[in-house]
Structure 1
Amino acid sequence: MNRQTRFYALAARYVALLGILLLLSFSALSQTPAKKFSAQEMDEILYHIHTYYVEDLPLSRYNQSNLSSLFDNLDPYSKYLDSEELEAIFSAANGRYTGLGIEVEEQGNYVTIVDTLPNSPAEIAGIERGDKLSLINNIDVTGKTIAEVSALLKAANKNQLQLVVLRGSSAVNIALKRQEIVLESVASKLLKDGTGFLSVNSFNHHTYHDVARQINYLQLQYGDALKKLVIDLRDNPGGTLNSAVAISDLFLDSGTIVTTKGRFFDANQAYFARQGDILNGAPIVVLINNNSASAAEILAAALKDNKRALVVGLRSYGKGSVQSLIPIGNGTTALKLTTARYYTPTGTSIEGTGVEPDVYFTKQALSLLDKSAIITGEESIKKNGIEQLASHWPKAFALVQSQ
């Protein structure tokens, strides 16, 4: 077997089409690898980019001395993964991840907490949405990027972390450790009049089964088939392509779910719904916002374009590319490479533009609809003013049924 054939065989064996799962942020981390590559690794990297990357790049001028500029010319989602980064992706795709359990974004000079994962070290330690990271183990992180902050957190391994966060006008000291977290990707609540509320937080290999299980559980609670369903995809950063396709198929009897297009043969795929709708046609409303990305956008667009659901909220993030994991060397490192772009059932690419909702809600109105409040119970819903917003749902469901 010659080297080119061996490379292709390895790729065929290991390539996993993944919508990248960003648990820290939608911001792309630095693509430039720090390590020096052997001549064989250089050959593999150049071969894979030439063969699989979504765009045809001139590669003849690249060598060991200027390889970093090649990675800088790839899109923000393509990068070299060391063994730890590769393991983290596999863990996340399997519903596990080692870390603090925070979602962050850059706001001004600070990396700011957007949310914490349920039962995570961050939630247990008392980190709150809106906290601004100030110090990590006495190192000032003001003005640092998410990539720099992430590197400091990873460097602590599972040792104790001492954080100082800015909360309003106060500085709060917090001690915690990075730990393995089992990601609960789906939560549900039975609301009034047979309406189910399904909160999908990410798309991993277990999410399809979790969605089906939660819907069955809601119907058992109600004692009958659900009359309506709200699927909340707000702040969902995405996950695996196969998960998004399978979950879309749960609610569709027919039609295209998504198509992918790339330069190599297997990157060109069309995914279609099979007969069988778990809700038997009951109307669906899908909630999205600016942080709904990747696999979440595939689901929202599939249900919208097939006129199966009304999409409500704000325009989504706009990540319309598919990444593949391609092993390097002995398979302990890899390239995460954009190999295709995906297109909605109407043939639209949402890259950079996002999914446009059928009905816009203001950011202020959407912020009232707190996921944790809904999942916790009806009293929390009343206290957070959610019933007022929920009063719009009958009109939304009526619109679904009129399509």
Structure 2
Amino acid sequence: MSIVNRIKHAFTRTYHAWALLFSVLLCLILITPSTFAKQQFSQEQVEEILFHIHAYYVEDLPLSHIDNSNFEQLLSQLDPYSKYLSETELEAIFSAANGRYTGIGIEVEEIANRVVIINTLPGSPADIAGIEGGDKLVAINHQDVTDKDIAYVSKLLQKAEFSIIQVTVERKTRQLTLALRRQEINLESVTSLLLHNGNGYLSLNGFNNNSYHDVARHLNKLRIENGEPLAGLIIDLRDNPGGTLTSAVAISDLFLDAGTIVSTQGRFYDANQHFSAQQGDILNGAPVVIMINENSASAAEILAGALQDNRRALVVGTPSFGKGSVQSLIPVGNGTTALKLTTARYYTPSGRSIEGIGIEPDIILTKQVLSHLSKSAIMAGEQTAKKEQLARLDSHLTDARKLLKKH
């Protein structure tokens, strides 16, 4: 009996129950790199994981000669977003999807072989302690991390024995060591500001299960503050690592009257889906500008691609990250652990796959221009942001208005 047939026979008892428990998401790429960590698996776990790969992985991999001796070799063939999740990692994903996060509140990126803090979550321990974007991580609990990657740093933070974590950062020519207490943080994914000329500014930091309602609430607040419908809207998706597929689809639908939002294609039946917009545009056709950069990924790219392909928005900035795949969470064993497996590719309304390519802006803005238009400067108000840069944003809204009239 082949390995696949043996797996099917062994797993038939529970397959239908597990199949109903899939949770679809678009990986948040900037939290941790999704590589398949080395793990000791029992024969039963190997057979269960092989079954899922055979049934659901986006590509058909040869499994006929796979056993414990070459199992790791098979796992190395999976894409970087497929991963076995421990109980802690699975809880972290569900918490993030529900707008919660337990930690110290830093967003990091690998730059020139160093783990660099690019942002702190508002009101988080890191924010309150004064950690700044650009600080380089030096040590966690006095353990050197200068030559380590994000996965290693993340594991140190997750497995910290005590709730107080000693974080050492390098800032310009000096080092600072701060004691930060891990705590549960509510992730506010949406912030907004009313600009002059009746234009609104909306910043999305992620796509969780609350983001759709948060976007609608902020847009209503801006309309009330303006005293009339908004003249235009800027949606800032820079440094947005993504989130859930359902959130990306629902938010896209807010701005579309009709048309395709996104489609997904995979090997098993439920991986092939087509999402269309329902009638009703929350802005009644007012022009939209979407800002992206190289760190805008997954769900952020779905929103940008949907509005760009439907000629509903003008996309400005630099090309996005290029994550065009969808992952499913598949319970393993008793359900306290899971397999995060790439089960589909997604395609923009025009049929584009952006995997490894990203969304190409309609108007390219240099990184220098984007740095002048930092989120913090905009949210601080027009008095502190550079007036010429805000005028540039208004000109993009004018361009978007002309584009919409042509179509």
Instruction: Report the TM-score range of the alignment, normalised by the length of the smaller protein.
Output: over 0.9
Indicate the residue corresponding to 1:190 in structure 2: 194
Q: 1:223-252 deviations in whole A, cap 9, x for unaligned?
A: 111110111101000000010000011100
Matched, 1:399 2:402: yes
Matched, 1:143 2:135: no
Question: Match for 1:176 among 176, 180, 183?
Answer: 180
Indicate the residue corresponding to 1:24 in structure 2: 31
Q: Select between 73-82 and 109-118 the one with higher mean Cα deviation.
A: 109-118
Other structure's SS at 1:379 match: coil
Shift of 1:402: 3.5
Q: 1:326-354 deviations in whole A, cap 9, x for unaligned?
A: 00111111100000000000001000000
Distance 2:70 2:129 in 1: 44
Distance 1:254 1:327 in 2: 36
Query: How many residues are treated as equivalent by the alignment?
Result: 399
Counterpart amino acid of 1:30? T
Indicate the residue corresponding to 1:107 in structure 2: 111
Distance 2:10 2:113 in 1: 48
Other structure's SS at 1:302 match: helix
Distance 1:336 1:324, change over 3 A: same
Shift of 1:38: 2.8
Written as runs of structure 1 = structure 2, the 5 A alignment for 1:2-401 is 3-24=10-31, 28-34=33-39, 36-382=40-386, 386-401=389-404
Other structure's SS at 1:337 match: strand
Counterpart amino acid of 1:14? L
Counterpart amino acid of 2:205? N
What's the RMSD between the two structures over aligned residues? 1.7
Other structure's SS at 2:223 match: helix
1:21–1:89: 8 Å Cα contact kept in structure 2? Answer: no
Distance 1:282 1:212, change over 3 A: same
Distance 1:167 1:97 in 2: 26
Counterpart amino acid of 2:195? L
Other structure's SS at 2:233 match: strand
Query: Where does the alignment leave 5 or more consecutive residues of structure 2 unmatched?
Result: 1-7
Shift of 1:158: 4.8
Q: Select between 324-333 and 371-380 the one with higher mean Cα deviation.
A: 371-380
Distance 1:312 1:399, change over 3 A: farther
Q: Select between 212-221 and 66-75 the one with higher mean Cα deviation.
A: 66-75
Distance 1:244 1:48, change over 3 A: same
Counterpart amino acid of 1:396? D
Distance 1:264 1:29, change over 3 A: closer
Distance 1:201 1:223 in 2: 27
Distance 1:29 1:258, change over 3 A: closer
Q: Select between 129-138 and 61-70 the one with higher mean Cα deviation.
A: 61-70
